[in-house]
Structure 1
Amino acid sequence: MTQPSTSVPTTHSVAIAGACGRMGRTLIEAVLASGDCRLSGALDVAASPGLGQDAAAFLGQPAGVAITADLAQGLLGAQVLIDFTRPEGTLAHLRACRAQGTALVIGTTGFTDAQKAEIQDAARDIAIVMAPNMSVGVNVTLKLLQLAAKAMPVGYDIEIVETHHRHKIDAPSGTALKMGEVVAEAMGRDLKECAVYAREGVTGERDPSTIGFQSLRGGDVVGDHTVLFAGTGERIEITHKATSRMNYAIGSLRAVRFLAGRKNGLYSMFDVLGLND
């Protein structure tokens, strides 16, 4: 007779940065709802009014984890930190994670080239998943864009339009920029040389080698992205619309699981989802 398994399911200990923010709370909710992740820490800035409170109090189901501004305390016992904050805060967390050997999932956007280089360097010592968008759907969309751009390298004008809530502080969004990078690379172009971020006045005819960006801000829009391929006699629009931040949290937990057992390296969501083939 086959004996029942006595193995204990893997539990991933996860700390959340920006625990009092909209995304932080969504991540906490996702961790608590998962069957294989445990909330081990919750971090926020020293000025946050939520310091000292239970990280899940907003859900009415206390998690027994107090929100803290102390990095060492917040990372204590964490295998992975999920960070959707701001570049300066993420870099501070990165240094602490590197010192303590804690893996990191980075959903923050707006990094400079120098800041990206620091993250790359830290990946020599710890495992990191970094992506401008953790949504599974967005990353599938990026794969579709790659396929479309390879099939239509000439004869199509490309415009990227993104819409976000009024509180977003960077533009274009990191996701829109990633879409532009994927399309440009597939067409053998350099986005830094062909991107157009604003048009005003008498601009002349559109340069067919450019990739245009438009950013809209308003209301509580979670995130809409459309890439338009406009050719002669036809248009192709590839669109992703997010109606909840939970899709970013679900993707982040997939990244957490992917990092289990990995000691170092810088990975993308394409790695997590097996889309690099």
Structure 2
Amino acid sequence: MPTSLGLFGTGRLGSAIRRLADARDDLEVRWAVGSEGPGEDALEAVDVAIDVSTADAVADHLAWAHRTGTDLVIGATGWDPSLVDGELPVRVLVAPNFSLGVALVRRLTAVLGAYAAATGSAGTPVDLAVAETHHRHKVDAPSGTALALREALARGAGTRLEDVQTTSLRLGEVVGDHEVTVTTALETVILRHAAHDRDLFAAGALTAAGWLTTRPHPGLFTLDDLAEDHLRPLLGDPAEQAGPGPTTRSTTADAHA
């Protein structure tokens, strides 16, 4: 029996999610609503809903999920993380970015930060930076992913967030480009993730929704929890340096916006 799916948000990412979901036999999109759609009370319960709407709508969507017993994936922008504090009656997954590639880069960023700390302890000045570029329509800056990468780099390096230079550009129709840089007088090490198509995030959102419904208990999850299943065999213990922490509670989505 197909998993029933609801969709809050019918913009660029929401439309991509719907298109990919409609092409799958194991998913059934029961409804997709935008800002002008019916209120939450008019929506039927589904197995899982994906929220890629706006910050102002997240509180209402969470309340609806609680009332209806619907699991919820949140990829919306800039909402208050205290909304998911405390015990949750349903499964909720929060994702600042739906790309497993970005989850991999975040883990490697923490390792790079530790390398920078070791280099700096030898008396060599080290510069840390995160740069991101997105399409001209994106409002928030820095992006949620840039903030997550900055936090991972600072944590790995044992330094303050303010010590990581963070820059943003809004150019053309760039889907999402993030770069982490560690520079000394002797070398530069760069990690980069470039998204070529918004379908990357749409597919990741559907993967997150399917994974969330298999969790044995209600509660709060992040894409890092899902990524552990995929990345831990690849990274081993170093992945623990960027394990779930404050970064995973970031609620500012980016390239999906």
TM-score > 0.5, shorter chain as reference: yes
Task: Please name the residue that 2:219 is paired with.
Answer: 265
SS of aligned partner of 2:57: helix
Structure 2 Cα separation of the partners of residues 138 and 72 of structure 1 = 35
Kindly indicate whether the alpha-carbon contact (under 8 Å) linking 1:12 and 1:256 is maintained by their aligned counterparts in 2: no
- Aligned AA for 2:90? I
Task: Please name the residue that 2:41 is paired with.
Answer: 72
Larger Rg: 1
Alignment of 1:95-106 (within 5 A): 95-106=63-74
Structure 2 Cα separation of the partners of residues 120 and 103 of structure 1 = 16
Aligned residue pairs, count: 224
Aligned partner (choices 3, 11, 14) of residue 2 of structure 2:
11
Kindly indicate whether the alpha-carbon contact (under 8 Å) linking 1:79 and 1:103 is maintained by their aligned counterparts in 2: yes
Task: Please name the residue that 2:56 is paired with.
Answer: 88
Aligned partner (choices 19, 24, 38) of residue 29 of structure 1:
19
Gaps of 5+ in 2: 232-238, 241-257
SS of aligned partner of 1:221: coil
Task: Please name the residue that 1:6 is paired with.
Answer: none
Structure that is richer in helix per residue: 2
RMSD: 1.7
- Aligned AA for 1:119? V
TM-superposed deviation, 1:69? 2.2
SS of aligned partner of 2:85: helix
Task: Please name the residue that 1:64 is paired with.
Answer: none
Kindly indicate whether the alpha-carbon contact (under 8 Å) linking 1:41 and 1:78 is maintained by their aligned counterparts in 2: no
Alignment of 1:71-220 (within 5 A): 71-74=40-43, 76-111=44-79, 115-121=80-86, 124-153=88-117, 154=120, 155-191=125-161, 194=162, 210-220=163-173
Structure 1 Cα separation of the partners of residues 201 and 28 of structure 2 = 18
Aligned partner (choices 22, 25, 33) of residue 43 of structure 1:
33
TM-superposed deviation, 1:89? 1.2
Structure 2 Cα separation of the partners of residues 245 and 147 of structure 1 = 28
Task: Name the % identity.
Answer: 32
Kindly indicate whether the alpha-carbon contact (under 8 Å) linking 2:182 and 2:189 is maintained by their aligned counterparts in 1: yes
Structure number with higher relative contact order (C-alpha < 8 Å, ≥ 6 residues apart): 2
CA offset digits 1:6-47 (Å, max 9, x no partner)? xxxx5321111112x11110010121123422112111112x
- Aligned AA for 1:99? R
SS of aligned partner of 1:220: coil
CA offset digits 1:145-199 (Å, max 9, x no partner)? 12211222134211111111111111100010011111122223342xx2xxxxx
Kindly indicate whether the alpha-carbon contact (under 8 Å) linking 2:93 and 2:221 is maintained by their aligned counterparts in 1: yes
TM-score of the two chains, using structure 1 as the length reference: 0.76
Kindly indicate whether the alpha-carbon contact (under 8 Å) linking 2:34 and 2:53 is maintained by their aligned counterparts in 1: no
CA offset digits 1:66-90 (Å, max 9, x no partner)? xx3221333x141111111221112
CA offset digits 1:242-262 (Å, max 9, x no partner)? 111111111111111211143
Structure 2 Cα separation of the partners of residues 109 and 175 of structure 1 = 11
Gaps of 5+ in 1: 1-9, 47-67, 195-209
- Aligned AA for 1:124? L
TM-score of the two chains, using structure 2 as the length reference: 0.81
- Aligned AA for 1:43? V
Task: Please name the residue that 2:243 is paired with.
Answer: none
Structure 1 Cα separation of the partners of residues 109 and 45 of structure 2 = 40
